[in-house]
Amino acid sequence: MSNVRNNLAVVGLSGSPAASSKSRVLVEYALARAATRGARVELVDLAALPADALLGRGSAPAIAAALDAASRARIVVAGTPVYRATYSGLLKVFFDLLPQDSLLGKIGVPIVTGHDRGHSLAVDHGLRPLFASLGATVVAGGVYGTSAQFQDGKAAPELLKAVDHAVDEALALAGAGIT
Ligand SMILES: Cc1cc2nc3c(=O)[nH]c(=O)nc-3n(C[C@H](O)[C@H](O)[C@H](O)COP(=O)(O)O)c2cc1C
């Protein structure tokens, strides 16, 4: 597999408040995949950010750094659990802080985990329009994983394969200059 030519930046946003998170496992795997292809990767764990500033009550250096990481990245991987049939509030409040059009020219990779397949449309009806609202182009193959696809915190091979596909698609779009 060829390496990404221009050492592009990929940021992974983990939108789960859980200490042990299935969606974060997939975001970390996506970043590792991108790194093996030559990308510079960074994980932003939204649960570790100061809550007041995340809610727009004042500012904090950690929030500014996270927003900066998202604005500098060419590819934004967003991972979230399904909460009440859509993305987490944690992911939403972070997206609310991103300036209008700040993801223009970037590629979005949605990664969602839910209890079962009942809310798999959270990828296409939740995360896809969320990305698009800020101008991102979203890969065709978003990722959805269920609880049954995790054993002892590890994701099933077919789920990792879906992440591989999504990351490779994002890298291909970025490499071709398509946004
Ligand atoms: C507050 C809350 C709401 C949830 N709502 C849903 C839901 O609507 N549909 C669903 O399939 N799973 C739902 N779940 C289950 C989580 O989406 C699922 O366990 C997910 O894999 C957790 O991801 P995480 O480990 O990254 O936090 C909910 C869990 C919590 C805590």
Alpha-helical (H) ranges within the chain are 22-36, 51-54, 61-72, 89-97, 128-133, 157-175
Which residues contact ligand 1 via a Cβ below 6 A? 16, 18, 21-24, 81-85, 113-116, 118-119, 147
pLDDT at position 179 is: 55
Residues of the chain with pLDDT under 70: 1-6, 176-179
Cα diameter, the chain: 46
Using CB atoms within 10 A of its CB, is residue 120 exposed (0-12), middle (13-18) or buried (19+)? middle
Q: Which atom of ligand 1 is nearest to the CA of 20?
A: 25
Q: Cα(83)–Cα(152) distance, rounded to whole angstroms?
A: 22
Which of 25, 83, 120 maximizes ligand 1 atoms within 8 Å of its Cβ, making it the mutation to test the pocket? 83
User: What is the set of domains in the chain, with CATH numbers?
Assistant: 9-175 (3.40.50.360)
Query: pLDDT for 132-163, tens place per residue?
Result: 999 999 999 999 999 999 999 999 999 999 99
